[in-house]
Structure 1
Amino acid sequence: MTSASKAAPQGAGTVFRNARVLDVVAGRYLDGQSVWVEGGVIRAIAPDADRMAGADAEVIDLGGKVLMPGLCDAHVHVTAITPNFAELGRMSPFYVTVHTADVLKGMLERGFTTVRDAGGADWGLAKAVAEGALPGPRLLYCGKALSQTGGHADMRGPGQQELGECFCCAGLGRVCDGVPEMRRACRDLIRTGATHIKLMVSGGVASPTDRIDSTQFAMEELYAAVEEAEAANIPVMGHAYTARAINRALEAGITSIEHGNLLDESSVRLFVEKGRWLVPTLATYSALAEEGLAAGMPADLHRKVYDVLDAGREALRLAHAGGVKIAFGTDLLGIMHRRQLTEFALRAQVQAPIDVIRSATTVAADLFRMGDRIGRVEPGLLADLIVVDGDVLHDVAPWSRPDETIRLVMKEGRVLVAR
């Protein structure tokens, strides 16, 4: 493959020759194609598309390598530089941002061109990425995740009384109780340009005082949050594990359920009936079990990982068999971010490789309400593209060696990674 210049101007355009284009919708390759990119957009795909480009366009010969849409991760925490969330809330936001730059760069190098943050990232970080000041994937953000007192984003231990929240500081969550506080919190996040709202609707692993099997927020609080999000035309993501918590959230109108490890058949029926999304995050449980303690997770919280570790695959099997829309998510923390692509191998125990790819492209794009902009290699869509050396249509092995197999990453027509 001819090496591409990272400094190539977007306006000059790029032509990929001898591309094996992956049609993720049809689940097939289109061999021997040329793809013309100009102005950040895919202009044409045809064997002779290079003839349509200007003479100054940069030509990259792929030699038959796969050209496919950039990947999407629907559940990340780019500012979670440690799995100890209580400690994270005491860190300087400047310190956290420096380390977040490495997290974002790593995601881009792994082929992710759009990620949806589930608590921690804000408008300033998203703007820095959009302006190119921080190299990274397109960053969708919710600001702080919303939690009830004693919920999954309340990081006080049982002996602490003062909340001590600083809404501009590092940390993943914000506590609000009752309908008026919920509405105010949602409206404040929407004011900052949040692309979605995140609610903690059940207990979780990384919080000190709640139980995995608890439900959180009263129904009227959930309805209020959904109403505020719908007024702003943005979706709501809900952290939930048990079928009881999941079903309450789906009944309230929440758009996607994050994790969902303990769902059941009644949940599957509700997902399909209401047309909602599930975002499993198998990679984080495997990672936390293996190296959570070494990464800084408190031992008493690390024990909670095993309450949901083995259930995740069965939940994925039920959801996949039942026709639920399943998006790609990882939820990794601290040093474990490097394991982002292990989600492919974990899901491949249940899903075909193309289904996992769809979860990270078309399905995620629809969840983000960006299906008309990203997720496919088609004329008119943004030129978010990656070049992969390997048969990704039939095998997940190429995702296990990204430094060797992901040869190029383009975001909106700019080559940001070239190997």
Structure 2
Amino acid sequence: MTATLFANARLLDGTTDAEGHVLVEDGRIREVSDKPLNLAAARTVDLRGRTLMPGLIDAHVHVIASEVNLARHALLPDALVAFRAARIMHGMLMRGFTTLRDLGGATNGLRLARDEGHFDAPRMIICGKAISATGGHSDGRGRHDSRDMAYLEARLGCLGRLADGVDAVRRACREEIKAGADYIKIMANGGVASPTDPIAFLGYSKDEMRAAVEEAAMAQTYVAAHLYTDEAIARAVECGVHSLEHCNLITEATARTAAKAGAIACPTLVTYEALKSEGASLGLDAVSVGKIDTVRLAGLESLERMHRAGLTMAFGTDLLGEMHRHQSDEFTIRGRVLPAIEVIRSTTIHAAKLLRMEGQIGTLATGAFADLIVVDGDPLKDLSLLTGQGRHMPAIMLDGRFVKDQLAA
């Protein structure tokens, strides 16, 4: 594999902020130095005036969600869903996201297609189907829809599955892990895009949540939970849930408890802004539209509370359908209330920690995957440089291979 030497770069990854030189070889970062490096066989790129960062990590996406109306989406042909997912993931890659964690829907088969090189996409961490109680956030059936969910659950376009009771939850967890899930996702609160669960709905009993946590632990992994209300978050932390998704209505006291427990939060503010402005026009039903402001208006305050409490936050977006194009706007939304360095850390070292890939992604360190982006200018001074559909990124590298290269040779 061709070697690449990035010279005279501003190095920025959440722990490092300095001038330096990075040598990439065989898909890995082989050397990082504050002194000039020389390798005759390497292509040398002078990055003076530009910033070199690890590839960005989005720790909450739904790559198969090509439509906003998820009930309708579940009925789409699998092949159509797969090809649309490939397009969605390629768009993420071109925005500089080289790793993603899918929170419901992506399968091991889709990941294998990516790994075999059938399309360019970020590396994928998956949970398989999100697991929900009947009437919970994975149940897209309306009040008067009594169809058996088994038909929908077998389809690629369906993001979740149902499991009621401790034994059923255990079986669902085991089946998802057998199918290739890297972690378990449960729906522990009501949601916006589902028709019969108010936001305050508590999706699972403590016994059911503890069963999921135990099953995950036995498989050497963790549970992520969809959560909004403070009550739901506190219950989930008590039961051992590690990854707290959304958290819009969290209190500072609960955030402190979660931090002490070693949990990590993954807020997703951009999706509520996008749903508010575009959801109805893209097919979101009136019941769901009516729930948006309950969580949207509390979003920025939740970031401040979690930051003050010392609760680690990873970067997530949770967008659906045509709204995936707003993915990078999460940076500037968070930047309204958080220091820019904390926003950078959320998409690098904090997200890598959540994905249990520290030292491999989200860092400019020897031995890490050579997932890199080049940014024109200084993102610490202007987070909008990470937006614009990759417009300010002349180069994006994945596994040591340029997937975008507008740098002079």
Compute the TM-score of the two structures, normalised by the length of structure 2.
0.96
Q: Which amino acid aligns with 2:142?
A: G
Q: Which residue of 2 aligns with 1:20?
A: 10
Using the TM superposition, give the Cα deviation of residue 408 of structure 1 relative to its aligned residue in structure 2, in angstroms. Answer: 1.0
Alignment counterpart, residue 160 of structure 1, candidates 145, 154, 168: 145
Q: In the alignment, does 2:51 pair up with 1:66? A: yes
Q: Which amino acid aligns with 2:173?
A: C
Q: In the alignment, does 2:351 pair up with 1:361? A: no
| Structure 1 moving runs of 4+ over 3 Å | 47-50
Q: 1:265-289, CA deviations, whole angstroms, 9 ceiling, x for partnerless residues? A: 2311211220101111000000000
* d(CA) in 2 for partners of 1:269, 1:230: 23
* d(CA) in 2 for partners of 1:286, 1:404: 22
Q: In the alignment, does 2:238 pair up with 1:274? A: no
Q: Which amino acid aligns with 2:137?
A: H
* d(CA) in 1 for partners of 2:303, 2:256: 14
Unaligned runs of 5+ in 1: 1-10
Using the TM superposition, give the Cα deviation of residue 397 of structure 1 relative to its aligned residue in structure 2, in angstroms. Answer: 2.3
* d(CA) in 2 for partners of 1:223, 1:288: 32
Q: Which residue of 2 aligns with 1:237?
A: 224
Structure 1 stretch displaced more, 281-290 or 406-415: 406-415
Q: In the alignment, does 2:333 pair up with 1:346? A: yes
Q: In the alignment, does 2:132 pair up with 1:147? A: yes
Which residues of 2 match residues 397-408 of structure 1 at below 5 A? 397-408=384-395
Structure 1 stretch displaced more, 266-275 or 349-358: 266-275
Asked if the contact 2:271–2:319 (Cα under 8 Å) also holds between the matched residues in 1, the reply is yes
Q: 1:115-150, CA deviations, whole angstroms, 9 ceiling, x for partnerless residues? A: 000101010111122222121111111110000011
Asked if the contact 1:35–1:49 (Cα under 8 Å) also holds between the matched residues in 2, the reply is no
Alignment counterpart, residue 71 of structure 2, candidates 86, 98, 114: 86
Q: 1:352-407, CA deviations, whole angstroms, 9 ceiling, x for partnerless residues? A: 11110100000000010000211110111111110000211222121233443111
Asked if the contact 1:69–1:374 (Cα under 8 Å) also holds between the matched residues in 2, the reply is yes
Q: Which residue of 1 aligns with 2:160?
A: 173
* d(CA) in 1 for partners of 2:389, 2:36: 29
Q: In the alignment, does 2:181 pair up with 1:204? A: no
Q: Which residue of 2 aligns with 1:105?
A: 90
Using the TM superposition, give the Cα deviation of residue 20 of structure 1 relative to its aligned residue in structure 2, in angstroms. Answer: 1.6
Say which SS state the counterpart of residue 224 (structure 2) adopts.
Answer: strand
* d(CA) in 2 for partners of 1:348, 1:162: 44
Unaligned runs of 5+ in 2: none
Superposition CA RMSD, Å: 1.3
Say which SS state the counterpart of residue 201 (structure 2) adopts.
Answer: coil
* d(CA) in 2 for partners of 1:268, 1:282: 17
Q: In the alignment, does 2:304 pair up with 1:314? A: no
Asked if the contact 1:330–1:343 (Cα under 8 Å) also holds between the matched residues in 2, the reply is yes
Asked if the contact 2:252–2:308 (Cα under 8 Å) also holds between the matched residues in 1, the reply is no
How many residues align? The count is 404
* d(CA) in 2 for partners of 1:367, 1:404: 28
Q: 1:158-178, CA deviations, whole angstroms, 9 ceiling, x for partnerless residues? A: 111122324441210100001
Q: 1:315-373, CA deviations, whole angstroms, 9 ceiling, x for partnerless residues? A: 11100111100110000110000001100111011111111010000000001000021
Asked if the contact 1:36–1:49 (Cα under 8 Å) also holds between the matched residues in 2, the reply is no
Asked if the contact 1:156–1:163 (Cα under 8 Å) also holds between the matched residues in 2, the reply is no
Say which SS state the counterpart of residue 124 (structure 1) adopts.
Answer: helix
Q: Which residue of 1 aligns with 2:273?
A: 286
* d(CA) in 2 for partners of 1:361, 1:354: 10
Q: Which residue of 2 aligns with 1:412?
A: 399
% identical aligned pairs: 45
